Amino acid sequence: MQKNQPKNIVILTGAGISADSGIATFRASDGLWESHSIEKVATPEGYARDPEFVQQFYNERRAQLLDPKIKPNLAHIALAELEAHYQAKGIGNVTVVTQNIDDLHQRAGSKNVMPMHGELLKLRCVKTERIVEWRSPEPVTDSDRCQCCTPPQPLRPHIVWFGEMPFYMDEIQYKLSQADLFVAIGTSGHVYPAAGFVANARSLGLPTMEFNLEASSNVSQFANSIYGRALDTVPRWVRSLTRG
Ligand SMILES: [Zn+2]
């Protein structure tokens, strides 16, 4: 084991890590939100007003994600290798907290993933919140119904919309409290509560590191910033932790 090697690492990832896989950036200035208003497709009120339109929006995103051309890139793969290496050598835990709704970390082989903003390939019953996997480019319509209720209820996208609480918040705080290093990769630093994790990490005395194309809006909060494409910078960092 290397001297000063962090044992438990919490890694927050955002749109920047999936951009190199061809996933159009979600919520970015050049992204998909521009052509659909956020209120229409990413709020509970928008869904209540026009569920068919909202389903259509996520159907398009799901079909894109399931296109065979879309694959995990070297950054996703490096994080999966880091987790596997830490596990195999008994060094510690690597946790990936992702703001992305794609499944590219899981496809790359990461096991310890917390998709805090939900998952495109899942739906849930609007009444019981029971989750249903939907790993098919077949469109979901508003007439698709759950199998848990009588009468059967609509299935909404398993996505955290504006005004809703992200998933895994308690688990993320616990993982931070056990961590030796907090890393952010490809996040804008605009979307809370994720943008606040670096402040939590600092208050816990953790070293902090960010990987980004350019300075994020909360750059000053990170002790160490590395700029460039994630598929170049992240594998290099992982190699520095796993060699020897
Ligand atoms: Zn139900």
The backbone torsions φ and ψ at residue 140, rounded to the nearest 5 degrees and listed phi first, read -85, 135
pLDDT digits (tens, 9 = 90+) for 6-64: 999 999 999 999 988 988 655 444 445 555 688 889 999 999 999 999 999 999 999 99
Q: How far, in Å, is the centroid of ligand 1 from the Cα of 151? A: 8
Q: How far, in Å, is the centroid of ligand 1 from the Cα of 228? A: 45
- Kindly state the average pLDDT of the residues 132-143: 92
- Kindly state the average pLDDT of the residues 153-161: 96
pLDDT exceeds cutoff 90 at 73: yes
| Per-residue model confidence (pLDDT) at position 217 | 66
Q: Following DSSP, what letter does each residue of 67-131 receive, concatenated?
A: STT----HHHHHHHHHHHHHHHHT---EEEEE---S-HHHHHT--SEEETTEEEEEEEETTT--E
Q: How far, in Å, is the centroid of ligand 1 from the Cα of 144? A: 11
Share of the chain above pLDDT 90, in %: 79
pTM value is 0.93
Place of tokens 């398993």: 158
pLDDT digits (tens, 9 = 90+) for 107-131: 999 999 999 999 999 999 999 999 9
| Per-residue model confidence (pLDDT) at position 28 | 44
pLDDT exceeds cutoff 90 at 218: no
| Per-residue model confidence (pLDDT) at position 22 | 85
- Amino acid at the residue 159: I
Binned at pLDDT 50, 70 and 90, residue 211 comes out as very high
Q: How far, in Å, is the centroid of ligand 1 from the Cα of 201? A: 38
Place of tokens 């050598």: 89
For residues 219 and 181, the answer to whether their CB atoms sit within 8 Å is no
Which residues belong to the active site? 117
Closest CA to 104 of 213, 212, 216, 15: 15
pLDDT digits (tens, 9 = 90+) for 75-111: 999 999 999 999 999 999 999 999 999 999 999 999 9
- Amino acid at the residue 82: L
